[in-house]
Amino acid sequence: MWQRWFTVKGRSLFSIAFSLHRLTGIVLTIYLCMHLAYLTSIRMGKEVFESFIATTVTPQFLIFDILLILAGVYHGVNGLRLIIHEFGLAYESRKSILYISVAIALIVWLIASYRMYVFVMGV
């Protein structure tokens, strides 16, 4: 059943956007659980917590952080678009709002990713 989320053929842009919204929601929920487990690792001892931190602030983990930002930004911007449509606002221009929301998500993601890259890599 979940495989229909990824079927693109014959689907509208709105259906694809909503499927991506669901997927990013699942990714963010999994990340939240991992983040909470990461934060509670301090109870396992200072050494364990510091080894987790040393591992996750490396340039190798930067790609995961950048993808997490993409998921969060897309989910947030698309969620606002869905709320606007749920209230029945701007329904006649929903296709252009979809394009604008995707553009906003990409621009914010690129800026945030660049800033994170500069911060982590020390460029």
pLDDT digits (tens, 9 = 90+) for 1-24: 666 666 667 778 888 888 889 999
Query: Residue 43: what pLDDT?
Result: 77
Distance between CA 31 and CA 19 in Å, rounded? Answer: 18
Whether 31 is in a domain gets the answer: yes
Range of the domain at 100: 12-121
Residue 92 lies in a domain: yes
What stretches of 1-123 show up as alpha helix (H) in DSSP? 13-39, 46-56, 62-86, 94-121
How far is it, in rounded angstroms, from Cα 11 to Cα 78? 18
CATH number of the domain to which 23 belongs: 1.20.1300.10
| Domain membership flag for residue 80 | yes
Euclidean distance between CA atoms 118 and 81, whole angstroms: 31
Asked whether residue 47 carries a pLDDT value surpassing 90, the answer given is no
Q: Which of 112, 20, 111 is nearest to 71 (CA)?
A: 20
**Residue 1 domain-assigned?**
no
Residue 72 lies in a domain: yes
The answer to whether residue 3 is domain-embedded is no
How many domains are there within the chain? 1
